[in-house]
Structure 1
Amino acid sequence: MIFKPYEVTYSPFRSFTRQEWSMLEDHPQFPIAGIDLTRLQALNEPLTMEEVEMIYIPLIRLLQIHITHYRNLHHEREDFFRNPSQTIPYIIGIAGSVAVGKSTTARVLQKLLSMLPEKPKVELITTDGFLYPNAELERRGILNKKGFPESYDAKSLLAFLAGVKSGKELLEAPVYSHLYYDIIPGKTQLITKPDILIVEGVNVLQVSLDRKPRRRVFVSDFFDFSIFVDAAEKDIRQWYLERFKTLQKTAFTDPNSYFHKYASYSDEELLRFANEVWEEINLPNLERNILPTRFRADLILEKSEHHCVRGVRIRKI
């Protein structure tokens, strides 16, 4: 049968089913049996050894290929310039909705990448630390838009990433507390000469965090590889509601928690409130700001309703 040009569907991505992805060759050999998965998974984000073997091990092999070529390019350029300099950290960006499983993906990658034969130093930061403090959000009248592009201190985040890519030996990142729902004054995360830096956040693939027309440098400009964790909106909503119910019985019971007053809510009251937050904040942010960046990623992890990855898309090169 002869296909006419208009009958062919083209895509900038190669697509793999879960099974196809797991069968890719040259998987690195890790002693994964000794990994404590409970230290890697986030709240209500199940993680199994099968998921690690079928999804993350092939992903690590792919990243290993990219990182090796990055290092080789560095050495070849230094030979060309005849002026040796230090290797600049390789930055991996991870994006996706609230409650989709970004933090689990980030921690798994951090752990497995650190187990590569060369034992690289792998650091992980979240962009939550670059949110404006609540007092500033209130001053701007956008506390109810926390997580939206305008709620981030884009200047500080870009300066931090520029420092990483400039080869600075010591950098400090602000620290965010989910317990207090705010930046912790005076507390910072020290980043010292990592080989690989993972940056995780909902908005990291957007072309602007503050939407000021004059800004021409974006967070994603500093990434060497980017991943988008994707799922159906109905599944993400369900995961968000389930996490909220779990938090009511755990973190919310702490008198110091920003959400302590919700610990005494009935199940009906809690679900009503959680659904309102989803409808008024998280869903609009997902639809307007996060989902439109999905196809800017180098790789997309497509999750099923059970939180496991059902398919992978990888950008062609």
Structure 2
Amino acid sequence: MTDNELLSPYITFTRRDWKQLRASVPLPLTEEELEKLRGINERISLNEVSDIYLPLTRLLNIHVANSQDTYKAVNLFLGQLTPKVPYIIGIAGSVAVGKSTTARILQALLTRWPNHPKVDLVTTDGFLYPNRILEQRGLMKRKGFPESYDLQKLIHFLIDVKAGKSEVTAPVYSHLEYDILPNQVQTIRQPDILIIEGLNILQTPKPKKANKPRLAVSDFIDFSIYVDAEEQDIRQWYVDRFHILCRTAFQNPNSYFHRYANLSEEEATETATQIWSEINAVNLEKNILPTRYRANLILKKGANHKIQEIKLRKL
């Protein structure tokens, strides 16, 4: 081990070393099930699930089991039964890096473990301000930036989850309409695990006043994962995804982006690259990437979408 590795807060694993940690955990997903979990332009295979995600769920199961044991011990100490609260896993990273697919695969795998069969997934998209508010504030081109989220509503949601409330609701976001759906909610009923996925969940907020700290989303997260890749690779994935959407979702007349449906290949590339450069790259550099080393675990992807390196924070 080099001096740099000794001083680093992380243990670094190659793909080959990491997959050995799977031990005898069986692969519970079929190719058909995995197909339903893949995101647009995601090429994740069953081998990727076996090599990367099964060892990760084994690690997460250890953390959740320890949390459940602590809950039982504290209740014994207090001599009373306090509400059981969900273990919260946070997944962060750039637009188009594959956070949503990672979240869905982890949800599917974690539900197979007997001590935490109920696993819910919430995305922070639901906590974006509605378009009418973003338009009023001149923030439509900064959607996904920290100031575009109703942070107070998100924090209150997490407070209620961690308070052990029997039922908590989260707003629902439509990618087709590119807006919050006003009459729909997602109901969370005391899951064993709650996965929350979003761009900015590892950020620390700036205090409004000196010496007056504010709560952050990361204060409620028990284990955090950052999905990482080189910026030029993420940019290419974003452009590739935009091309696919032009041929699929954008063809729907109800799509907010229907105006892009008839772009030529060259126009689609130019449009996607411009959106990436002016919006997503700026958000990544200024707001998302600086939070990477706050994560408990970093999954580093190569240009082929496969995870090449895993960094696990030392205990």
Q: TM-score, normalised by structure 2?
A: 0.95
How do residues 88-237 of structure 1 correspond to structure 2 at under 5 angstroms?
Answer: 88-118=85-115, 120-208=117-205, 212-213=208-209, 214=212, 216-237=214-235
Q: 1:316–1:8: structure 2 CA closer, same or farther, 3 Å change rule? A: closer
Q: Distance in 2 between matches of 1:206 and 1:119?
A: 28
Percent identity between matched residues is 52
2:103 maps to 1:67: no
Query: Match for 2:64: what amino acid?
Result: I
Query: Match for 2:264: what amino acid?
Result: S
State the Cα deviation string for residues 181-228 of structure 1 (Å, max 9, x = none): 1111111111111110000000000012x8745551000000010000
Query: Match for 1:18: what amino acid?
Result: R
Structure 1 alignment gaps of length 5 or more: none
2:315 maps to 1:311: no
1:244–1:274 CA contact under 8 A, matched in 2 = yes
Q: CA deviation at 1:119?
A: 5.0
The residue aligned with 1:280 is 278
Q: Provide the alpha-carbon RMSD of the alignment.
A: 1.8
2:289 maps to 1:256: no
2:27–2:50 CA contact under 8 A, matched in 1 = no
Q: CA deviation at 1:6?
A: 7.6
Q: 1:274–1:6: structure 2 CA closer, same or farther, 3 Å change rule? A: closer
3-state SS of paired residue (1:36): helix
Q: Distance in 2 between matches of 1:196 and 1:159?
A: 18
Q: CA deviation at 1:7?
A: 7.8
The residue aligned with 1:50 is 47
Query: Match for 2:36: what amino acid?
Result: R
Query: Match for 2:71: what amino acid?
Result: H
Q: CA deviation at 1:87?
A: 1.5
Q: CA deviation at 1:27?
A: 4.1
2:65–2:115 CA contact under 8 A, matched in 1 = no
The residue aligned with 1:267 is 265
1:30–1:115 CA contact under 8 A, matched in 2 = no
The residue aligned with 2:236 is 238
Query: Match for 1:269: what amino acid?
Result: E
Q: TM-score, normalised by structure 1?
A: 0.95
Q: CA deviation at 1:309?
A: 0.5
Q: Distance in 2 between matches of 1:7 and 1:61?
A: 28
